[in-house]
Copies of this chain bind each other. A is one copy, B any other.
Amino acid sequence: MATIYEVAALAGVSPATVSRVFNGLTVSEEKQRAVRDAATKLSFVPNKTARRLRKQSSELIALLIPDIENPFFTALARGVEDRAQESGFSVVLCNTDEDPAKEKRYLGIAASEQMAGVILAPASDEVDLGSIAELGRPVVAVDRTTPYPVDAVKVDNRAAGIAATTALFDQGYRRIACIAGPAGIETTEDRFLGWRQVVTARRTATHDGYLQHANFRVDGGRAAMEALLALDAPPDAVVTTNNLMAVGALQALAAAGIRPAEFGLAVVGELPFLTFAPASVVEVRLPARHLGTTAASMLLERIAGDTTPPRTVVLRAEVKTPEL
Q: Report A's interface with B, CB cutoff 8 A.
A: 1, 45-50, 52-53, 60, 68-69, 71, 74-75, 77-78, 81, 90, 92-95, 106, 108-109, 111-114, 131, 134-135, 218, 244, 247, 250-251, 254-255, 271-277
Oligomer: number of copies: 2
Known: A275-B275, A275-B276. A114 touches B49 (CB 8 A): yes
Nearest-neighbor residue (CB-CB) of A252 within chain B: B275
CB of B247 within 8 A of CB of A273, answer yes
Distance, CA A273 to CA B112, complexed state (A): 37
Smallest Cβ-Cβ distance to A92: which chain B residue:
B92
In angstroms, Cα B27 to Cα A91, docked, is 40
Q: A90 with B68: in contact, given A49-B114, A53-B53, A275-B247 (CB under 8 Å)?
A: no
Contacts of A112 in B (CB 8 A): 45-49
A81 to B64, CA, bound (A): 14
A146 to chain B, nearest CB (A): 21
**A276's contact among B95, B106, B276, by CB below 8 Å, is which?**
B276
Residues of B within 8 A of A134 (CB): 1
Tell me the complex Cα distance, A198–B247, Å. Answer: 35
